[in-house]
Amino acid sequence: MQTFTLPELGENLASGEVTRVLIAIGDTIAVDQAVLELETEKATVEVPSSVGGVVTDLRVKAGDTVNVGDVVLTVGEGEADSVVREPTEEGSATGTAVPARPEASAALGPSASAKVLPMPRGSQSPVEGSPRPAEAAAEVRGPGSPASPAVRRLAREIGVGPDDVTGTGPGGRLTMEDVKQYARSVLVRRGGAAAVHRAPPLPDFSRWGDVERKPMSGVRRKTAEHLSHAWATIPHVTQCDKVDITNLEALRKRHAALVESRGGKLTMTAILVKVLGAAMQRFPQFNASVDSESFELLYKRYLNVGVAVDTDRGLLVPVVRDVDVKNLTQIAVEVQAIAAKARDRKLTVEDMSGGGMTISNLGGIGGTYFTPIINWPEVAILGVSRGAREPVYVDGAFEPRLMLPLSLSYDHRAIDGADAMRFLRFVVSVLEQPFLLGLQG
């Protein structure tokens, strides 16, 4: 008999929620076969088994929260146990062999955008002399309840001390709703501030016709939480420019076959990954993160670029690493490979970690300009729209030139407008004169 325990998921990731179980008791599985679809703080990923054989025991089901090191399944060479978990309509296995470990999970509520100062441990109320509302599920106490990294992160982001709230989950575990309920109660006691940030309930749309409710996918929920946090905490500024890529497009077409013979595709995205690496090296404040707790800027010495990929589950951002030491052909091959992994649900948490800046290219769909939201904890993102031929005044006459619109969003806490425009103009100059990349680095 061999057991498979949940492996390390990535840096600072200690647990995840099971969204689907891909096998059942009695199945024969192979090493590296995906057995779970797990939702972490960063993405929904498939977890491969490190053991092979006949599944004799299965200890998780959809909705369970599993910690690193927990036993997921057992395999052997003989017949499976009599208790078999049949796949549900969602494709998850169910059964009664092991009790479930449910944990409340909810999307980031509107009130979470308001900062709430944690109350001192041992106090009876967030405001001295103010009674706690009966509807508040969490109580003030210390020391804190056990909580998943996602719950602790939510508490930290909205300014609640997780050690000040008692959990109502199984075994006293702190849930998302515990944190949000505590935050709402504090805001209500402070003069109705919650009313400013808390959205009213939706109207009854069925009064006007048929409606349909569909749950958000795991990736969509995480995207909503991540971008809500980024938009609420980062002072965004977006600056735009156009770049003449007429000559670059001719070069791209001329060398596309060579790159294709190496297994890649010479796209504008791949070219921009290389160019951004050079720009981040020249302007290090674009390869930084803001530590709002210590009021420090953290500058990264490595040059990694994230590439936003549109998938049927939502937006995923795998990372191309060490772009400064890779040539354009290598980057083109890697960009194509990670995009395929994203669409085939093969990305790991590590594949999407460690980015310094992100590219979001919507040019294949259309549009002119847009204002991309920064991929926190990064401080900048480059949006790319569709190139179009336009009349440009060159040497005393108008010529048809292929112009590419660029949109640079940046964190104004780390980057000033003048530096942002210098960065964008550097990107433009390299794209218009690719020789500069080799000349200046």
List, by residue number, the catalytic residues. 412
In whole angstroms, what is the distance from residue 332 CA to residue 273 CA? 9
Place of tokens 């840096």: 11
Let me know: does 320 contact 347? Beta carbons within 8 Å.
no
Residues in contact with 391: Cβ distance below 8 Å, sequence separation at least 6, in sequence order: 398, 399, 400, 401
Place of tokens 């420090």: 296
Residues in contact with 247: Cβ distance below 8 Å, sequence separation at least 6, in sequence order: 432, 434
φ, ψ dihedrals at 193, nearest 5°:
-60, -30
Q: Is 108 exposed, middle or buried (0-12, 13-18, 19+ CB in 10 A)?
A: buried
In whole angstroms, what is the distance from residue 175 CA to residue 109 CA? 13
In whole angstroms, what is the distance from residue 402 CA to residue 400 CA? 7
In whole angstroms, what is the distance from residue 114 CA to residue 300 CA? 30
Provide the edge-to-edge strand list for the sheet that holds 15-21: 44-48, 34-39, 15-21, 65-67
In whole angstroms, what is the distance from residue 27 CA to residue 53 CA? 8
Let me know: does 183 contact 160? Beta carbons within 8 Å.
yes
Classify the C-alpha dihedral 257-259-263-265 as positive or negative. negative
Q: List the one residue out of 440, 46, 438, 57 whose CA is nearest residue 251.
A: 438
Let me know: does 248 contact 271? Beta carbons within 8 Å.
yes
In whole angstroms, what is the distance from residue 410 CA to residue 398 CA? 34
Amino acid at the residue 374: I
